[in-house]
Copies of this chain bind each other. A is one copy, B any other.
């Protein structure tokens, strides 16, 4: 290498696939950091460097350079709980009590219509919405995960699919054994897919027998798979369990060997202090779904107490049939607002901690923290760019606050998953709007009939 006096030594630039140069980067790890005028370097879908923009321009030559002069770049948002296929039922029966909603609307429709076609079409619509809203990973629990996987594959999103288990026959299978067999077969068939992972998904304590939980616990031990389960969504569920089993649902799950650091308890609303202690003892993960909990009248989860107990919390949208939007940014904002408001403490859950919950907290909840959740060298390049130069987001004193409290999904401009650009200037690259529209209208007409 030549050495030239009074000049920096010339070096051969390193080739990379992509260089993203936003105004600000919030890597999430380390915590609370906002980098200005830095660049993120991606090669083969992996984050390979994060450095000041000037140094990046000297050190790297990238096939694609994306300059985002008024944007903040964060890790892609992680939706820790949804039922993507149900997006086709968005808003079909609002303002109804949970029992009416399920028994008179959702279950009859599912019984009539759930199929691989419905799950694929519904999941594709959900993927479109989630990508446009800045999500790069979702954790799903629904019938026919093999059909959901097709939509995931097409859309370019990342997903963690549920291997369903519960004790009622449906169009998808005869009962728990059948569901588990089918789900495990789907996982085996797709285990090399770069954007798919799986968890066991026993539906809920009130729909799964002790015998089925035993099988789930055994499978979890054999395979190393995590467990995705609704738990303590309502006080009614807790009361019923006490009546039927003489135990609270979490006590029963502990007895059955279901609780552990790879167990994701969804909702976790109706909790007493002993429940929280039990969850902390087993390092259980929580998927907090504040909109669904309010909209269905379940209540408000005790996130401040969960957080104080050291329990990791991710954010989930739940299904669009109930929510009715798959919008993790507004969901995360609400998580913060509810904690501040109910505890009467505006200092709770400051902006960076909420961004953490929506990204790395979600990755930890799914056991994917080594692969995604932060803009860390060696992780997969799942990225979300948010523009802050709009009338609705100006001025900008603190990009972290702006993301949580002022911006919305409408400001998401670019999304990358595994290094691939799947949303560019607010448009999906892998899904046509015409396809989404036609499928949604087809199913709207079917459900009306």
A interface residues with partner B (beta carbon < 8 Å): 88, 90-92, 94-98, 101, 125, 128-129, 132-133, 291, 293-300, 320, 323-327, 330, 334, 337-338, 340-347, 349-351, 389, 391-398, 401-402, 405-406, 408-410, 428, 433, 436-437, 440-441, 443-444, 447-448
Contacts and interface: CB of A to CB of B under 8 A. Distances in A.
B125 A91 contact: no
A71 to B, nearest CB: 14
A398 B98 CA distance: 18
Q: Which of A96, A395, A405, A447 has the most CB atoms of chain B within a 10 A radius of its CB?
A: A395
A338 B396 CA distance: 29
Contacts of A401: 91, 94-95, 324
A437 B397 contact: no
A428 B350 CA distance: 33
Contact of A325 (B392, B398, B447): B392
Nearest to A433: B391
B293 A448 contact: no
A447 B394 CA distance: 13
A395 B320 CA distance: 11
Which 8 A-B residue pairs are closest in the complex by CB-CB distance? Answer: A294-B341, A410-B410, A395-B444, A394-B440, A128-B391, A294-B337, A95-B350, A297-B346
Nearest to A133: B392
Given A327-B408, A408-B410, 12 more contacts: A92-B398, A94-B350, A297-B343, A324-B401, A324-B406, A325-B406, A394-B436, A394-B437, A394-B441, A396-B444, A397-B448, A408-B408
Tell me which of A96, A392, A428 has the highest count of chain B C-beta atoms within 10 A of its own C-beta: A392
B405 A325 contact: yes
Contact of A395 (B341, B342, B408, B443): B443
Contacts of A337: 291, 294-295, 334
A125 B90 CA distance: 34
Given A90-B395, A397-B91, A347 B405 contact: no
A444 B341 CA distance: 28
A181 to B, nearest CB: 33
A308 to B, nearest CB: 17
Nearest to A411: B410
Given A299-B341, A337-B291, A397-B448, A91 B324 contact: no
